[in-house]
């Protein structure tokens, strides 16, 4: 176990994984910022709802709503968007309205999100930083305290 913590290969994997999380967090933050800055809202009709169900305990998760809405320019858009488990269950049991408010970019209406979706891009970038720094620390430690041959 502790030998793995001194492995340069593990360090390089952690550095790469950390950089990937940081990149994805930045990409999601830029998308969210663009939607907040000049995105337009529309009421989208939910045409179909998909979800995954675990075979073992039949727990449902990963809801995807197939939606249809009209932009301010009059263009009809059909797309899909992930919805929260709570909203998905409400829609599935027909206790919630079959309408979802989305925010889209006028120049690219297929770039859209549910207006109530939380932004986790900061947490994603922070996780990437910690993993990256951990990988760098392990890499440094592997050079300071090399494995000894017996």
Q: How far is CA 44 from CA 5, 47, 79, in A?
A: 50, 9, 10
Q: pLDDT tens, position by position, for the chain (150 residues)?
A: 556 666 788 899 999 999 999 999 999 999 999 999 999 999 999 988 888 876 666 677 788 889 999 999 999 999 998 888 888 888 888 876 788 889 999 999 998 988 888 888 999 999 999 999 999 998 888 888 776 655
User: Which H or E run includes 105?
Assistant: strand 99-105
User: Which pLDDT score, from 0 to 100, does residue 145 have?
Assistant: 78
User: Which pLDDT score, from 0 to 100, does residue 14 have?
Assistant: 93
User: Which pLDDT score, from 0 to 100, does residue 106 have?
Assistant: 92
User: Which pLDDT score, from 0 to 100, does residue 150 have?
Assistant: 52
Residue 69 has a CB neighbour count (10 Å cut-off) of 21
CA distance 86 to 114: 13
Q: Where are the domains of the chain?
A: 4-144
Would you mind telling me the total number of residues written for the chain in this entry?
150
C-alpha gyration radius of the chain: 22
CA distance 13 to 139: 10
User: Which pLDDT score, from 0 to 100, does residue 148 have?
Assistant: 63
């Amino acid at each position: 176990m502790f030998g793995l913590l001194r492995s340069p290969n593990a360090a390089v994997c952690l550095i790469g994984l950390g950089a990937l999380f940081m990149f994805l967090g930045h990409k999601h933050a830029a998308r969210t910022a663009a939607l907040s800055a000049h995105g337009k809202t529309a009421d989208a009709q939910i045409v179909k709802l998909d979800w995954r169900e675990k075979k073992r305990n039949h727990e449902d998760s990963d809801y995807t709503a197939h939606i249809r809405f009209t932009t301010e320019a009059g263009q009809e858009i059909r797309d899909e968007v992930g919805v929260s488990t709570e909203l998905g269950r409400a829609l599935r049991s027909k206790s919630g309205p079959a309408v979802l408010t989305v925010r889209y970019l006028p120049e690219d209406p297929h770039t859209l999100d549910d207006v109530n979706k939380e932004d986790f891009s900061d947490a994603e970038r922070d996780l990437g930083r910690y993993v990256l720094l951990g990988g760098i620390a392990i890499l440094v430690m592997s050079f300071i305290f090399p494995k000894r041959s017996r």
